[in-house]
A and B are shown apart, each in its own frame.
Chain A
């Protein structure tokens, strides 16, 4: 009886598939007519994929965009607080309540000399406020939930789900073997404690910094990994956004500065070097001070560049298919798609390794800076 049901379901599924493909063929003909008019702009496609946006774009079929609108929260001096969904902007074509997303490059053609001057709108992609005539006055204070912020919220929800669960399990099975998800996360937490915090900070003080180090490690790791999954709630390029990594580096800098002792500042302003490096022109103090600023800066750039490069390479490999199709015809596009997909899968595997390594390197360097912030007297 189950065999009959199974074969019936398989036949039903196959019929579904075939009707699906017939539907796709019908939709193809209107697109083909406009194929010559539309050029595939690879640069714009790639940059749009890794940048922030006011809506979460999912797919584009011909001229229809499917995207999820996100809330926009603005405060302007003229109009006060405004909350609305980004669908009111209709993908940047309309203005709503005197707000508009700045338009992309405008091209002016000067008829006299037959040249064209490309004027780049300095407000491209940002929300600007218009007065009654439609001229741009001002930029409001923009606290919207953009795609990156929504990505952070998704990963925060996942982190909370995981860690509240394993905290409860750890308390319940206090002196026994771990159970459930704790089995997966306990070795990682112990790795952060024994191989990152203890050697870098020292036995006496490492426990104060453990919450921050664990948070930063898992936040970066989960955001890196979620950025690789292309389906809807994941796939927002969070750690490839320099603002996010800037905030993480600023946290490290603040904690380093607040956990310093007098000896740390003595080593910056008055190091044990020959006097002529300090006295008329304070060379060594300047070098040491730039080191204080450079170390968190490098942390920020390293994480940002690694993640952005990974996403860019995968997107470029996929858009290679479309470039080849436009240049050499559909058959070349199909042919290159095998190679392209293989390369993309390889780069994604490499990106998984890079995600783990970058989370480890950020946490390890932060721990080293915390350890160096309170040096002992030799």
Chain B
């Protein structure tokens, strides 16, 4: 039993979990910003004269979603370094 625990501790589950978490956060951000980009393209195709407004709003929304992804990355970094 103790051998199993020692084996588990040696596996360094903490940093592995942190790396997995950061990767999942990257997937989430990729999907989210991809959808923003797709709908922005569609909107520009439907109404080309609104390009300026659509582009500004797209960049702002992407910044918000990236903020959420960075939250997850900061937590993962905390796990590794603390």
- Which among B11-19, B31-39, B41-49, B64-72 touches the partner chain? B64-72
Q: Is B59 an interface residue (CB 8 A)?
A: yes
B67 to chain A: closest residue by CB? A302
B59 and A357 within 8 A (CB): yes
> Helix, strand, loop or mixed for chain B's interface?
helix
Contact A305 B74, beta carbon cutoff 8 Å: yes
- The size of the chain A interface, using a CB distance under 8 A, is 13
Query: Cβ of B63 < 8 Å from any Cβ of A?
Result: yes
Determine if A301 and B67 form an interchain contact, defined as CB atoms under 8 angstroms apart.
Answer: yes
Tell me, in angstroms, the Cα distance from A326 to B66 when the chains sit together: 34
Interface of A is mostly: helix
Task: Report how far A353 CA is from B67 CA in the complex, Å.
Answer: 15
Residues of B within 8 A of A144 (CB): none
State A353–B60 Cα separation when bound (angstroms).
Answer: 11
A305–B60 contact, CB under 8 A? no
Residues B4-24 near A (CB distance < 8 A) = none
- Whether A301 lies near B70 (C-beta < 8 A) is yes
How distant is the Cα of A309 from the Cα of B64 in the complex, in angstroms? 15
Residue from B60, B63, B73, B74 whose CB has the most chain A CB atoms within 10 Å: B63
Chain A residues closer than 8 Å to B71, beta-carbon distance? 298, 301, 305
Smallest CB gap from A303: residue in B = B67
Chain A residues closer than 8 Å to B59, beta-carbon distance? 353, 357
A361 at the interface (CB under 8 A from B): yes
Q: Known: A301-B71, A301-B74. Is A306-B60 also a contact (CB below 8 A)?
A: no
Q: Do B73 and A309 touch (CB < 8 A)? A: yes
Contact A305 B64 (CB under 8 A): no
Whether a CB of chain B sits under 8 angstroms from the CB of A340 is: no
Q: Are A298 and B60 in contact (CB under 8 A)?
A: no
Take A357-B60, A361-B60 as given contacts and tell me if A306 and B66 are in contact as well, using a CB distance cutoff of 8 Å: yes
Report how far A361 CA is from B66 CA in the complex, Å.
Answer: 12
B contact residues around A302 at 8 Å (CB)? 63, 67, 70
**Cβ–Cβ < 8 Å partners of B60 in chain A:** 357, 360-361, 364
Is the Cβ of A298 less than 8 Å from the Cβ of B67?
A: yes
Taking CB atoms, residues of chain A closer than 8 Å to B66 are 306
A63 to chain B, nearest CB (A): 28
> Are A358 and B74 closer than 8 Å at their CB atoms?
no
> In chain A between 352 and 378, which residues have their CB closer than 8 angstroms to a CB of chain B?
353-354, 357-358, 360-361, 364
| Given A302-B63, A305-B74, A357-B60, 15 more pairs with CB closer than 8 A | A298-B71, A301-B67, A301-B71, A302-B67, A302-B70, A305-B73, A306-B63, A306-B66, A306-B67, A306-B70, A309-B70, A357-B59, A358-B63, A361-B63, A361-B64
Give 5 pairs: A residue, B residue, CB < 8 Å, sorted on A: A298-B67, A301-B67, A309-B73, A357-B63, A361-B64
